Amino acid sequence: MKKMKLFPKTFLYVFSLMAFITLISHGLFFFFMPIVYTGRKEAAFREAKTRLTEELREVSWDSPDNMKEIVRKYALQNQISIFVSSSGQSYHYVVSSFPFDGSFPDSATAAQGEFSSDWRVQIDDEIDWKEEQQDFYRKTDSKLISGVGFQTGEGRPCYLVMSSTLQPVYEAKSAEVILLPFTLLLSLVLSVLFALLYSKKITRPLTEISKTTERMKSLDKSALCRVGTGDEIGVLSHNINELYESLLASMENIRKESMRVSEAEAAKIDFLRAASHELKTPVTALCGMLDNMIMGIGRYKDWETYLPVCRDMALRFGVMIQEILDASKLDLTFAGEPVEETALHGFVEKLLVPHLLIAKSKGVFVDTDFSDDFSAKFPGDAMEKVLNNLLSNAVKYTAPQGTVRIYFARKSIVVENECSPIPPESLSRIFEPFYRPDFSRSRGDTGENPGGGNGLGLYIAAKILNALEYKFSFEPFFPLDGEKKGGMRFTIFFCG
């Protein structure tokens, strides 16, 4: 069974509640109105009886006009019939109808008479005032009757009988039976209209939120809850918007991270392929030399000469393998590495110490200028790897009697070395792993570091700088007046 939607559910709930209240209120009015009306009628009847008795005690029967006026006043004000009897004299005032405009009835609506004969009042049982002369109070379905005996101020016994009709109560109840169905129907119609308006008012913002969240579920970036109320529903709408914006931002970050990971995986695969290719060729050459020495073929019969060459090649493999391991273990996220404000002067001078010794042994001059010192925020270990690779390459690829320059310029670190400028076709591939544009200058046969570089220094430096989102450039510079030769310049920009 399909679940009921919010609007009809709210409508039925509100309408049922209002219909229930309407039925209860009409039922209470129908059943309790006669009770309340009769109770008030009885209270007024008793009060009129008490006040009339008190006034009659003070009136002299020798003044019949005063007696008649008092009886007439109470009869008309309280809409009751009054009979007063004392020493054979009687006054009887009967109200036959009830005015609705609040004015006293005239002679046409009331009958007044004075009698000397006996008067008998018929109720549930007969009470003969002439014989019994007792106090009583009786209530029937149609009237209230009460009698009381007392003495006037003159000491004369007096008897008072009052009668009030309850017929208007039952006439009003009969009118209710006719009127209540119409008022009940009108109340139910108003309940339907109010329930519709209320349900629409309440469910409209929730329906808007529901439609918007459906669009959000399909990742519609333009989806936005536009509920502008200041109540809890408005707060809910605002929270949903903020949550969706946060979700989209998180998804965008995940997408970028996924792309970065994919690029890193692709780079790792390319790196491993390049490493395999780089190792395969010299290993094959080494194996060929050893086989020729074992079989005594050609010049390799002189094994005493070529065994040291094989040892040098093995040492070169060791250096290359170590560089490959270092590059493969390189963490380019630096997520857990602290970022600190560091003065570049002291940082670079500390890294220069071992490279100055190598440059001195090679006959390379190192010129430094740190007068334009500045500070920057970066992970220390990561930046140390970058600068070590740049300084090592600069010293390694500078010929004896050449110069390496390290200086600061406009919040940038510049490393220059005098060499043959790299041609543009090779410069576009310079940051690929194991790429060497000039094998004749990067390979050697002897020395402490045989074979020159392995093409990993610039690759590692570029990867770290890209991960740190620092801009950099690597470009040739050419001879100017006063300079002996051109070379290559690597610049790291720490601003903009």
The pLDDT assigned to 226 comes to: 78
CA proximity to 344, closest of 495, 200, 144, 156? 495
pLDDT grade, residue 1 (50/70/90)?
Answer: very low
Of 71-75, 93-97, 107-111, 177-181, where does mean pLDDT reach its minimum? 107-111
Cβ density class 340-378: b for 16+ within 10 Å, e for less: eeeebbebbeebbeebbebbeeeebebeeebeeeeebeb
In percent, the amount of the chain with pLDDT more than 90 equals 0
Alpha-carbon torsion, ordered 436, 437, 442, 445, to 10 deg: 90
| Residue 142 in this model has a pLDDT that exceeds 80 | no
The pLDDT mean for the chain works out to 76
pLDDT tens per residue across span 162-214: 888 877 766 777 777 787 788 888 888 888 888 888 888 877 888 888 888 88
The secondary structure of 292-361 as a DSSP string is: HHHHT-GGGG-HHHHHHHHHHHHHHHHHHHHHHHHHHT-----SSS-EEEEEHHHHHHHHHHHHHHHHHH
Find the mean pLDDT for residues 273-286: 70
First to last CA, the chain: 63
108 Cβ contact list (under 8 Å, min separation 6): none
Q: pLDDT at position 454, please?
A: 62
The 10s digit of each residue's pLDDT in 366-378 is 888 888 888 888 8
Instruction: Give the Cα separation of 474 and 391 in Å (integer).
Output: 13
Query: Tokens 């002291």 belong to which residue?
Result: 346
Residue the block writes with tokens 């009659």: 56
pLDDT confidence tier of residue 102, bands split at 50, 70 and 90: very low
Q: Which of 153-167, 258-272, 351-365 has the lowest mean pLDDT?
A: 258-272
Q: Is residue 106 predicted with pLDDT exceeding 60? A: no
For residue 459, pLDDT beyond 60: yes
Strand partners, 376: 342
Q: What is the pLDDT of residue 373?
A: 83
365 Cβ contact list (under 8 Å, min separation 6): 359, 401, 402, 403, 404
pLDDT for the residue 81: 87
Q: Look-up: residue for tokens 């709210």?
A: 10
Q: What is the pLDDT of residues 215-242, one digit of tens each?
A: 888 888 888 887 777 777 888 888 888 8
C-alpha span between 171 and 179 (Å, rounded): 12
Count of CA atoms in the C-beta half-sphere (13 A) of 60: 3
Distance CA 357, CA 345 (A): 19
CA angle 466, 470, 471 (to 5 degrees): 95
Q: Is the pLDDT score of 100 beyond 50?
A: no
Least confident of 2-16, 426-440, 465-479: 426-440
pTM for this prediction: 0.44
Count each helix (H run) and each strand (E run) in the chain, helices first: 10, 13
User: What tokens were used for 48?
Assistant: 């009129």
Where does the pLDDT of residue 127 fall: very low under 50, low under 70, confident under 90, or very high at 90 and above? very low
* pLDDT for residue 103 is more than 60: no
Least reliable range by pLDDT among 65-79, 149-163, 270-284: 270-284
Residue 440: per-residue pLDDT:
43
- What integer pLDDT is reported at residue 327 of this predicted model? 63
- Is pLDDT larger for residue 133 or for residue 102? 133
- Alpha carbon distance 219, 245 (integer Å): 11
Say what the pLDDT of residue 472 is.
87
| 120 — pLDDT class (breaks 50, 70, 90) | very low
| HSE value, Cβ hemisphere, 13 Å, CA-based, for 467 | 22
Q: What is the DSSP letter of 422?
A: P
